């Protein structure tokens, strides 16, 4: 059991707390420039992770004048909640809305950056809170995973997960593991999830808003282990915005980004949204 409260009390870098409508604390990491700015970027992390590993992009973008925030989803990182779980899609959407509202009180303009599973969070945000969002960045995602990345779940295991989830839906019973995973030595990472959490984050059941007329960038690492460039481009083709850009990040993997891999993303960001 992770002592989230202790880790949170010991954390000394810039951060904020978002209080939810059901009295939970969501942890919001911050990388802000010295000069005040009216534009913020909110990062949604990938599965198993939390906002901490995004320090490289948070610090890099803050140097260009953007206030960058990284949200730990409920049950992740330094946020409250049952680990690897969300009680309902409604509470998930409320958490997103309350976080966006918290940031919009400090900055007039907001961009969303979703990485991997965070793309799902960003799509939900665009479906429910589009009027608060000026731009979207999607990194390391597609609807189709490379063959052989995950071992197939046996029928027995599927039935075990199903029955466990019926009688104790809050118990994480689905192990999330693959070769080459990062965060194995980080106590704040999650590697087990509830079935109801996984159902919320099913990319194949969520679509982009019909009227998405804001700038959108979708990037994929040239060495991404989970998704091919072609599958990422297929997701890109679905985006209904007339102002969108597709990039391949040189040298990048699914969750590993060499410093030079951000160059084209930053150029697009600076040219599209001046801080």
Q: What angle do CA 30, 32, 38 make, to 5 degrees?
A: 115
Residue-level pLDDT at 13: 96
Residue-level pLDDT at 149: 82
Q: Is the pLDDT of residue 104 over 90?
A: yes
> What's the whole-number average pLDDT of the chain?
94
Q: How far apart are CA 113 and CA 137, in angstroms?
A: 5
Cα–Cα distances in angstroms (integers) from residue 68 to residues 30, 103, 110, 141, in the given order: 6, 10, 10, 21
Q: In the chain, pLDDT over 70 holds for what percent of residues? A: 100
Q: How far apart are CA 244 and CA 208, in angstroms?
A: 13
CA atoms within 13 A on the CB side of 59: 7
Domains (ranges, CATH) in the chain?
4-272 (3.40.50.1820)
Q: State pLDDT tens for residues 18-70.
A: 999 999 999 999 999 999 999 999 999 999 999 999 999 999 999 999 999 99
Length of the chain: 275
CB contact at 8 A, 78 and 27: yes
The b/e string for 3-34 (b: 16+ C-beta within 10 A; e otherwise) is: ebeeebeeeeeebeebebeeebbbbbbbbbee
Using only C-alpha atoms, the chain has a radius of gyration, in whole angstroms, of 18
| pTM as predicted | 0.96
| 17 bridge partner residues | 27
For 106, other C-beta atoms within 10 Å of its C-beta total 16
Q: State pLDDT tens for residues 183-238.
A: 778 999 999 999 999 999 988 889 999 999 999 999 999 999 999 999 999 999 99
């Amino acid at each position: 059991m992770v002592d989230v409260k202790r880790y949170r009390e010991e954390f000394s870098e810039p951060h904020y707390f978002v209080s939810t409508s059901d009295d939970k604390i969501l942890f919001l990491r911050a990388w802000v420039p010295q000069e005040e700015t009216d534009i913020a970027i909110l990062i949604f992390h990938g599965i198993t992770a939390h906002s901490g590993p995004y320090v490289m992009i948070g610090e890099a973008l803050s140097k260009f004048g953007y206030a960058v925030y990284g949200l730990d989803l409920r049950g992740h990182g330094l946020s409250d909640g049952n680990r690897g779980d969300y009680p309902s899609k409604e509470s998930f959407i409320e958490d997103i809305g309350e976080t966006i509202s918290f940031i919009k009180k400090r900055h007039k303009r907001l961009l969303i950056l979703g990485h991997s599973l965070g793309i799902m969070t960003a799509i939900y945000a665009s479906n429910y809170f589009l009027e608060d969002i000026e731009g979207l960045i999607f990194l390391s995602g597609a609807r189709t995973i490379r063959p052989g990345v995950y071992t197939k779940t046996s029928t027995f295991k599927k039935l075990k997960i199903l029955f466990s989830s019926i009688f104790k839906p809050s118990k994480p019973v689905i192990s999330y593991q693959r070769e080459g995973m990062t965060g194995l030595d980080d106590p704040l990472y999650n590697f087990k999830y509830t079935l109801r959490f996984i159902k919320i984050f099913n990319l194949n059941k969520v679509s982009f808003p019909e009227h998405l007329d804001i700038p959108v960038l979708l990037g994929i690492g040239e060495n991404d282990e989970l998704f091919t460039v072609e599958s990422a481009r297929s997701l890109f083709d679905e985006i209904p915005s007339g102002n969108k850009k597709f990039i391949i990040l040189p040298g990048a993997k699914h969750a590993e980004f060499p410093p030079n891999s951000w160059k084209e993303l930053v150029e697009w960001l600076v040219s599209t949204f001046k801080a």
